[in-house]
């Protein structure tokens, strides 16, 4: 079950990785009363028919069937956004990739809490697979960006306790 906006971000990013994306961009705008997320990937994409099916909670991609029988990520986020009177836009094209953009009004009582962005970013950086993750965050007047590739170039890897501690401190100093 999803409890925070960060849970949705993790779920959608994992979908991008499972769709074979080698480049994933996560763009977060946390300004005043709106929390907006755009996730873009260069994965296998979906045609219009598959996209409609993906919004059905009882459908999952054939490539994922070995792991799970149903795919609840997109239906859950659509439901949460509708309840909170937010907005969602999904664009996808086969062999090009997918963009999912959604926003929540932070003043709506049904908007889920944002969650722990630092822990979410650490988790995303350590999802298995060969991909680069670019993260950009805009908070009112402050903008921060970093990528998995840059972090690996700077510290060598992202999965040891030492590197995770360094990354976590960097995120705390630059995101919060």
- Residue 2 has a pLDDT of 63
pLDDT (tens digit per residue) in 40-65: 999 999 999 988 888 776 656 555 44
Place of tokens 């499972």: 18
pLDDT > 90 fraction of the chain, expressed in percent and rounded: 66
Is the pLDDT at 165 greater than 70, yes or no? Answer: yes
CA 24, CA 70: separation in Å to the nearest integer? 24
Within its chain, how far is the Cα of 19 from the centroid?
A: 13
Locus of tokens 């409609």: 52
Q: Span 157-173, mean pLDDT? A: 90
Q: Which long-range contacts (CB under 8 A, 24 or more apart) does 45-52 make?
A: 45/19, 45/92, 45/93, 45/94, 45/95, 45/96, 45/97, 45/98, 46/92, 46/93, 46/94, 46/98, 47/92, 47/93, 47/94, 50/92, 51/90, 51/92
Q: Looking at the domain assignment, is residue 84 inside a domain?
A: yes
In a domain, 123, yes or no: no
In a domain, 167, yes or no: no
- Using a cut of 0.75, tell me whether the model's pTM lies above it: yes
Q: Is residue 18 domain-resident?
A: yes
Listing DSSP states for 65-102 in one string gives TTT-S---HHHHHHHHHHHTT-EEEEEEETTTEEEEEE
pLDDT in tens, 105-162: 999 999 999 999 999 999 999 998 899 999 999 987 888 899 999 999 999 888 889 9
CATH of the domain at 53: 3.30.565.10
Q: Hey, which residues does 34 pair with through a beta bridge?
A: 31, 105
**Secondary structure letter of residue 108 according to DSSP:** S
The angle at the Cα of 141, spanning 137 to 144, to the nearest 5 degrees, equals 30
Q: Domain residues for 42?
A: 5-115+131-142
Within a domain: residue 36? yes
Residue 125 covered by a domain: no
Structural domains counted in the chain: 1
């Amino acid at each position: 079950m999803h409890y925070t906006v960060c849970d949705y971000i993790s779920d959608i990013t994992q979908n991008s990785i499972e769709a074979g994306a080698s480049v994933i961009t996560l763009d977060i705008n946390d300004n005043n009363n709106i929390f907006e997320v755009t996730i873009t990937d260069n994965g296998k994409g979906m045609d219009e028919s598959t996209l409609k099916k993906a919004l059905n909670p009882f459908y999952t991609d054939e490539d994922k069937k070995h792991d799970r029988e149903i795919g609840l990520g997109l239906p859950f986020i659509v439901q949460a956004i509708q309840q909170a009177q937010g907005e969602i836009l999904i664009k996808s094209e086969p062999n090009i990739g997918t963009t999912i953009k959604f926003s929540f009004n932070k003043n709506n009582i049904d908007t889920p809490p944002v969650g722990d962005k630092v822990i979410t970013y650490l988790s995303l950086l350590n999802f298995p697979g060969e991909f680069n993750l670019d993260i950009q965050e805009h908070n009112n007047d402050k903008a921060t960006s970093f990528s998995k590739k840059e972090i690996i170039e700077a510290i060598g890897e992202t999965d040891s306790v030492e590197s995770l501690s360094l990354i976590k401190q960097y995120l705390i100093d630059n995101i919060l």
